[in-house]
Amino acid sequence: QAQLVESGGGSVQDGGSLRLSCVATGRIRGVNTMGWYRQAPGKQRELVASFTRDNNINYADSVKDRFTISRNRARDTVYLQMNSLKPEDTAVYYCRTIFAGIEYWGRGTQVTVSS
């Protein structure tokens, strides 16, 4: 079954760090356009960080210099290293990719940052 599976969420205090992982399984191959999005309660889902088709990286302004996206092509896995976390980073974090013209989303992993 083709799916994206996230892991690594949790609860940390203000200033803490977490590392999220997303692995593509089943027929999904390649992580060229895989990225991370998040949705906080009462807010729309927003881009956090993503690879582009031309191998660039997009970051939301709010996470630049704090979050780093990386990937392991051989393992079809993308990571999100989150440092200096703030309470406003609290959200469900989702992995997303497009493969063979189909958009895939993971089920999400909760990140909670307390002050």
Q: What angle do CA 57, 58, 61 make, to 5 degrees?
A: 140
> Whose CA is closest to 106, among 77, 83, 82, 86?
77
pLDDT (tens digit, 0 to 9) for every residue of the chain, 115 residues total?
789 999 999 999 999 999 999 999 888 876 678 999 999 999 999 999 999 888 899 999 999 999 999 999 888 899 999 999 999 999 999 999 988 889 999 999 999 999 9
- 29 token code pair: 């191959």
